[in-house]
Amino acid sequence: MAESFISTKPIPVRERLIMALDVPSISEAQALVDELGDSVIFYKIGMELFMSGDYFGFIEWLKTQDKKVFVDLKFFDISATVGRAIKALSSKGVDLATIHGNDAIMEAAAENKGNLKVLAVTALTSLDRGDLDDLGFKCDVKELVLSRAKRALKIGCDGIVSSGLEVAMLRKELDHKLLVITPGIRPVDNREDDDQKRVVSVEQAFQNGADYIVVGRPIRDANNRKEIAEKIQQQILSQF
């Protein structure tokens, strides 16, 4: 039986599911949140919604609905610019935000985060070995993820975004010191047209040590979205 690294952090179980609101408009996002009701508490909003209109008004609306907010914009710029962006975002009531880049960028974000929890991206779950080779990363994927996680911890980031395939290795090396948010969750077999390549199931992600999972398409594209969200919630509950 594989070793278990179940999260020890005092996170309410129903907050461990983060729904990715990957839809083209604020109105569609609001309708989806209304439809899901109390089956989802935590939402990730990314670049697609950022480009669609009133992104920050939508954050305010989510907070009025007693939802938690994960801003996934993967800030990457000169360190001073990232620091100012994170400082501004920390005043919006956001719970989690992603950054990408080198030590100076992570340091600037950590210094300006306030109550916002900053997450460093390790290696995108849409990238496989061939993609990383093309980008010039000749090291093993796990080595890359571990190196970035160690740097993020040392610098003062609160956590990382990592495929569930690498989380057990991170827990062995770093224990539960960092928050680990795992995207690329697929409750069912991967579709051929799915651009997520390094994926895991709900149970595998938590057994490997994830604190949160991010689920998008399996809920968004379901015929009964709330039913699927509740099924995932029950899968999570069974692990704790």
Domain CATH number, residue 214: 3.20.20.70
Question: Mutual orientation of helices 103-111 and 141-155 as an angle, nearest 10°?
Answer: 40
pLDDT above 60: residue 44: yes
- pLDDT of res. 131: 47
Q: Is residue 8 part of a domain?
A: no
Is 90 exceeded by the pLDDT of residue 237? yes
Q: What is the pLDDT of residue 49?
A: 94
What's the mean pLDDT in 10-30?
96
For residue 178, give the amino acid letter: L
Cite the active site residues.
74
Segment 19-37 mean pLDDT: 97
Of 136 and 153, more confident? 153
Structural domain contains residue 4: no
Quote the number of domains for the chain.
1
42: its two tokens = 């935590």
pTM over 0.85, yes/no: yes
Residue 124 clears pLDDT 50, i.e. is over it: no
CA terminus-to-terminus distance, the chain: 18
User: What average pLDDT does the segment 24-40 reach?
Assistant: 97
Residue 133's pLDDT is 55
Nearest to 68 by CA among 42, 47, 107, 40: 42
Is 1 inside a domain boundary? Answer: no
Domain around 70: 15-237
Tokens standing for residue 166: 């690498």
User: What is the tens place of the pLDDT at every residue in 153-192?
Assistant: 999 999 999 888 889 999 999 999 999 999 988 765 444 4
What are 224's two structure tokens? 């009964």
Q: What is the rounded CA–CA span in Å between residue 152 and residue 146? A: 10
